[in-house]
Structure 1
């Protein structure tokens, strides 16, 4: 399964895992449960930075996968991307994501909102980005374009062209009764459908968050609404739920992925069962040895 596409999918999975471990628990607990940031300044910039980076990694990985599929299907005679090239693309994805999100790491800090008495009296900190000028709006717009709208446009174009090519070719092959090519085309159609669903999941999951960001940028008075934190957490939760959608999609729609995963789980279960059997045999042998020794040296009945 070590193909170029699977390398890129693995890279996206790493980003999803980092999102799950570093972002989801801290954001949920600080925004909803505690309503302040108790984790310190280091975790503040680490969580803010890693959250932004992992989102960019997912978006850029989707772009790389779509471009790889586009080249393979639209231009099949061109040289294929090698696994070495895939590793370089993955490195480039992380460098671009880290460089783009560097301002978030620089501006994220903990501070006590002096305007709110509850925070001031209890010395409760919040973790937010602190910008000196209006550059925050321009940076947010740039992030939105790079992380959401650019990937959506690229994915719509590449998979649109692929769908036209694959579906049109499939119809012609079915008419010619070419069973081998038709079967291969059906497999391609299923893969493309799976990737389209992944793109749709990414688009729909992050859409409410970006609508929220645009609205609050245009109307800053929206933050005075008493339930704004609940709304923020809701759109944030929907956006971060994207990190658990991809495994479900791949397991449901990718037969090879599902077979290999079940095979791996079966091997692990077999290994554990074998170790338990060996331990039982060792325990039984030890018990028999102890019993024989006790009989050998017990002369009380003689």
Structure 2
């Protein structure tokens, strides 16, 4: 089975547009049927993508709005979180197109949009990885080496270095995404239009794409983060600053959630690499990999919805900024809510007062 969009077009693990994808034939063996996986994906994936898009767009849009609105108060961590939200929004932009593609089994948006949507997905994925690495390295320098930040020189120098670091992360994301972005194209096949990477024959680009994902998407960031936090956590035990501990807690939660949600997908991707290179070629392995990819897709896609929730529950500063932004944007709604809350409070006090009076009267009568 060939994972046509290599590793990132998640729903194409059930790429039922192509007979070779679902008809395994080795030494004239009987075809390997994946009809159950195909039917499941055609119904399940568009629904999932739609839900993730709605929830993720609202949450990440709110994060981006708040951090841009109060950017004059932002520190390095806030700017990384802003870029992280932008990465998630880029990723989410592609989901309606993939939802339609999965439901209709037909790409109708043309070659330009095929490359554009592919680019947004890839840049969003690698952007999330690299900005988490940047946040980790910044916290490592702040805490372990007792500097204010990687960018804590004079204000102008600090701003310039921060912009340079962000540009570098986006450039790295672009470079990591380029192979798939270049080879992705719309193609007419059996009266159907598809959007997938068309790798040159007799090359190793497909294997490279699998290996690149595993290295840049899991092994490299995990190695850096394990090293940094193995130094950060012992140092925190000797600190009494609640502010620093809360910042570290937020970043650690983001990183842990990222790896919990994306590691299964990386593992299954590695198994697809083995399958493509001639290992795990049995029909049973093919069916199991198809079905496994459906479930790890579900886990991985849901990650886009969680970052804003983590900000809200872990970041006290962010909660205050959200409330302030909503008050300024919707003052009428907040005034009505405040009046309703006051009215309910007054009614509750009045009821309690009358209840207290009745109780007192009853006691007096008993006496």
- Pairwise same-fold verdict (TM > 0.5): yes
Shift in CA distance, 143/225, structure 1 to aligned 2, threshold 3 Å: closer
Deviation, structure 1 residue 112:
4.0
Task: Please list the CA deviations of residues 47-71 of structure 1 after superposition, one character each: whole Å capped at 9, or x if unmatched.
Answer: 1222111111111100111111111
Instruction: Give the aligned CA root-mean-square deviation in angstroms.
Output: 2.4
Consecutive aligned runs of 4 or more in structure 1 exceeding 6 Å deviation: 271-274
Aligned position for 2:97: 26
Q: 2:302 aligns with which of 215, 233, 241?
A: 241
Cα gap change, 1:265/1:230 in structure 2, threshold over 3 Å: closer, same or farther? farther
Deviations 1:95-153 (A, max 9, x none): 1111221111111112244xxxxxx2xx1122111112233202320232012211111
The 3 A distance-change label for structure 1 pair 52 and 157 is same
CA distance in 1, matches of 2:312, 2:318: 6
Q: 1:44 aligns with which of 114, 131, 138?
A: 114
Partner of 2:218: 148
CA distances 1:182-209 after superposition (whole Å, capped 9, x unpaired):
3x2x332222122111111111111122
State the 1:222 CA deviation. 7.1
The DSSP-based 3-state class of the residue aligned with 2:192 is coil
2:262 matches 1:190: no
Measured in 2, the distance between the counterparts of 1:72 and 1:110 equals: 47
Structural mapping, 1:68-147, within 5 Å: 68-77=138-147, 80-81=150-151, 82-113=158-189, 120=190, 123-132=191-200, 133-147=203-217
Q: Retained in 2: the 8 A contact 1:3–1:83?
A: no
Name the residue aligned to 1:17: 89
Change (3 A) 1:106 1:145: same
Q: TM-score, normalised by structure 2?
A: 0.63
Structure with greater proportional helix content: 1
Matched, 1:2 2:74: yes
Higher relative contact order (CA 8 A, sep 6+): 2
- Alignment partners' CA distance in 2, 1:109 and 1:77: 47
State which of 107, 114, 125 in structure 2 corresponds to 1:55.
125
Unpaired segments ≥5 residues, structure 2: 1-72, 152-157, 336-367
User: What runs of 5+ residues in structure 1 fail to find an aligned partner?
Assistant: 114-119, 171-181, 275-302
In structure 2, the residue matched to 1:270 is: 331
Aligned length: 250
Q: What CA deviation, in whole Å up to 9, does each residue of 1:77-97 have, x standing for no partner? A: 477512321111111111111
Question: Does the CA-based 8 Å contact 2:92-2:121 persist in structure 1?
Answer: no
In the TM superposition, what whole-angstrom CA distance separates every residue of 1:137-171 from its partner, at most 9, and x where no partner exists?
Answer: 0232023201221111111211221111002x04x
The structure number with the bigger radius of gyration is 1
User: What is the rounded CA distance, in whole Å, between the counterparts of 1:212 and 1:219 in structure 2?
Assistant: 10
- Aligned pairs for 1:200-211 within 5 A: 200-211=256-267
Using the TM superposition, name which of 103-112 and 65-74 deviates more.
103-112
> TM (normalized to structure 1)?
0.75
Quick one: distance in 2 between partners of 1:201 and 1:68? 19
